[in-house]
Amino acid sequence: MCSSDLLVSRPVRRYSVTGRLHGQPRVGLYVATLGDDGGLLPSFAADLDGLVVAGFGVGHVPASWVPALAEVAARIPVVLASRTGAGPVLSTTYGFPGSERDLQDRGLIRAGLLDGYKARILLYCLLATDTDRAGIRAAFATAGGIDALPAL
């Protein structure tokens, strides 16, 4: 038996990117893996226009990644997704260096319920329409269902 009440990530409303796509922004996807110290992040992100980081669990990365991610986020939009494939990036669960709260305080944008692949496509479209950071943040709040999630 299937019920719509069982759908965890049903979007509250559909999100559409408006505007004419022009150019081809370079958007990378960097996935957190055990043992990665983040040393490749600066060179990986050097020529990107946007970056999606797929972190552990609800949006955590190793503390060693924090300086590089903060530097990259000061230059380009960086979106924080979960690598788990299901479930949201939370906002206030933990506060240690590399936690979702710490990374958001450093300028990373929550992907909400969007996984890294979906977040990358959305960020690509937003950058291709010259959407500013505030617009990117608002787009992820809507498309990722963040505005419908409880504050966790």
Which residue in 83, 94, 143, 152 sits closest to 116, CA to CA?
Answer: 83
How many residues are present in the chain? 152
pLDDT in tens, 51-82: 999 999 989 999 999 999 999 999 999 999 99
Q: Strands 50-55 and 27-31, how do they pair?
A: parallel
Q: How many beta carbons lie within 10 A of that of residue 136, not counting itself?
A: 18
Q: Which residues pair with 82 in a beta bridge?
A: 55
pLDDT of residue 94: 82
Please name the amino acid found at residue 126.
L
Q: How many CB atoms lie within 10 A of CB 86?
A: 9
Contacts of 90-98 with CB under 8 Å at 24 or more apart are: 90/58, 90/59, 90/152, 91/146, 91/151, 91/152, 92/151, 92/152, 93/58, 93/152, 94/60, 96/63, 97/63, 97/66, 98/60, 98/61, 98/62, 98/63, 98/65, 98/66
Mean pLDDT of 96-101: 93
Q: Does domain 23-146 have CATH number 3.40.50.40?
A: yes
Instruction: Tell me what pLDDT residue 86 has.
Output: 80
The better pLDDT of the pair 93, 98 is held by: 98
For residue 20, the model assigns a pLDDT of 84
Is residue 13 scored above 70 in pLDDT?
no
- DSSP helix/strand/coil, 59: coil
